[in-house]
Amino acid sequence: MPLALAFYDVVQAVHVMGVIAAFGVWFAWPLLPGGSAPDHHGLQRILRVVVTPAATVALLAGIYMATDRELWSEIWVTIPFLILVVLLGLTGAYLTPRQGELAALADAGDTGAYQALHAQVAKVALAGAGLVLVATFLMVTKVGG
């Protein structure tokens, strides 16, 4: 039996893979190493090399799917789209530079400032993981659709 795949289905699979690759790390955030400059430079690299490109792939695939099926008016599409844009912004404008700051604080031995920023970053990552769950719920249940 020949395998028949529609292009849309392939794009949908790529979209899901992009989301998993991009945002799986947000759920593991509390378990990731921290405390030293090399740890934070490593996390910064993950954000730049894995999270941002994978989220961009997920975004582009999502845009294709929503446009192809004319779904932009659906709440279960527009809210997750906005969440993905917010998460990309958080990654590039907040999480990635904060890893550099945490590395510098760790090197300087500024324990108080390090702990405060580390706690703040952890809260942002947890909030981001929560947004991923909201987007996933909306898309799977097609709320409002």
- pLDDT tens per residue across span 6-47: 999 999 999 999 999 999 999 998 889 999 999 999 999 999
Task: Collect all residues with Cβ–Cβ distance below 8 Å to 86 and sequence separation of at least 6.
Answer: 131
Please provide the average confidence, as pLDDT, over all residues in the chain: 95
Distances (CA, A) of 86 to 2, 26, 47: 41, 14, 15
Q: Are the C-beta atoms of 62 and 10 separated by less than 8 Å?
A: no
Statement: residue 100 has pLDDT above 90: yes
pTM greater than the 0.85 cutoff: yes
Torsion of CA 34, 38, 44, 50, to 10 degrees: -100
Percent of the chain with pLDDT over 90: 91
Look at residue 1 in the predicted model and tell me its pLDDT: 55
Question: Residue 111: is it exposed, middle or buried by C-beta count within 10 angstroms (0-12/13-18/19+)?
Answer: exposed
- pLDDT tens per residue across span 69-88: 999 999 999 999 999 999 99
Look at residue 145 in the predicted model and tell me its pLDDT: 75
pLDDT band, residue 2 (cuts 50/70/90): low
Look at residue 17 in the predicted model and tell me its pLDDT: 98
Task: Collect all residues with Cβ–Cβ distance below 8 Å to 85 and sequence separation of at least 6.
Answer: 59
Rounded to whole angstroms, the Cα distance separating 86 from 98 reads 17
Look at residue 4 in the predicted model and tell me its pLDDT: 73
* Domain definitions of the chain by residue range: 9-22+34-141
Question: Residue 103: is it exposed, middle or buried by C-beta count within 10 angstroms (0-12/13-18/19+)?
Answer: buried
